[in-house]
Amino acid sequence: MKTPSPADIPDDQYKWVAMAIACLGTLVGVLNASTLIIALPVMMVQLNTDLVGVTWVLISYMLLITILAPACGRLADMYGSRNLYIAGLAVFTIGSLLCGFAPDITWLIGFRIIQAIGGAVIIANGTIIVVDAFPRYELGKAMGILSMIMAATFVVGPIIGGFLTMIDWRLNFYLNVPIGIAATVYAYYRLREARFTTTEESFDLRGMVLFTIAFITLTVYGSAGFLFGLFSLPMLLTLATGLVSLALFIRHETTTPHPLVDLSLFAIRAFGYGQLSAFINAIARGAVMLLLILFFQGLKGYDPLMASILIAPLAIGLVITGPLGESFRTGTVPVRLARSVSSSRLRALPGSPSCSTIRPTG
């Protein structure tokens, strides 16, 4: 029996197919982050490294994702998201498998870079797939579902990670493989190409280079500066390089006809404040999660499973406030209730889908 092509699927059914594909991609990406963090103390011991080395397992992944995500989103605008998304799922799955085989911390960080390349594509294109498939009046509901999946994964992820780490920390990477394979195959046979592409536009390579230099140098200053001295000559030169590159990047993006990042989006108050609150929330929650894991497993001596259960309440609120935040945005819950919830909780997840890669229309 011949398998129907994506074009043969009715639009009212295809939107849920696209949602399922986006949710699978979100699942592997978020699950990877939430399960792995609980395994860091065990990895530090078994890989014979220190806290700095094992922390770079996280930093290398997030650093590369942050650098590549804008470029991946821009490439999707130009050439379409379908093939890019499928390739991202495949690369992420292969990277996860390689991470599980890593013999030491150096190889693990290297394989995490491969994994991050796929992760950047998934993060940048997941929302595009949903926005393209759903009609405008249903976008709030669609983003609420995606946020709920993301939030629920943050809750159960550490518990799953704690259980797997008690068996073998490498299972936290192997867990991504079957999910990644299923997502890749499903997307290959069911995902349509996005309806709107702009192949006549050029890729902003200069903006990409400036953004990379600015982000890396400012990140190095913010982390290594406390080790070598914030006012030492090397760190001051690093800071100056980062600030100059950032200024040049902003100037370039506001003058080039086809920017890497459409900075005019930040003039939209809802978008700008949403990104700012997500940024602050990510910093605060990420630091607390790491410190609590080290505290429970290091100072208190709890096993990974118990430590994961103890930090679970931190993420439970995300399951509640994620979908509510989308409902507030679309006006489907009472305004009085919306006002009673702190705005900082409406963007509990960094890179929340409701404010990623969506451009104004009209």
Q: What is the 3-state secondary structure (H, E, C) of the chain?
A: CCCCCHHHCCHHHHHHHHHHHHHHHHHHHHHHHHHHHHHHHHHHHHCCCCHHHHHHHHHHHHHHHHHHHHHHHHHHHHHCCHHHHHHHHHHHHHHHHHHHHCCCHHHHHHHHHHHHHHHHHHHHHHHHHHHHHCCHHHHHHHHHHHHHHHHHHHHHHHHHHHHHHHHCCCHHHHCHHHHHHHHHHHHHHHCCCCCCCCCCCCCCHHHHHHHHHHHHHHHHHHHHHHHHCCCCHHHHHHHHHHHHHHHHHHHHHHHCCCCCCCHHHHHCHHHHHHHHHHHHHHHHHHHHHHHHHHHHHHHCCCCHHHHHHHHHHHHHHHHHHHHHHHHHHHCCCCHHHHHHCCHHHCCCCCCCHHHCCCCCCC
pLDDT at 299 over 50: yes
Summarize the confidence of residues 179-190 as an average pLDDT.
Answer: 92
Domains belonging to the chain, first-starting first, are: 10-194+260-352 (1.20.1250.20)
Q: What percent of the chain has pLDDT over 90?
A: 23
Banded model confidence at residue 97, pLDDT cuts 50, 70, 90:
very high
What average pLDDT does the chain have? 79
Distance CA 220, CA 214 (A): 10
Summarize the confidence of residues 72-78 as an average pLDDT.
Answer: 81
User: pLDDT value at position 108?
Assistant: 94
Q: 261-297, pLDDT tens digit by residue? A: 888 888 888 888 888 887 887 777 777 777 888 788 8
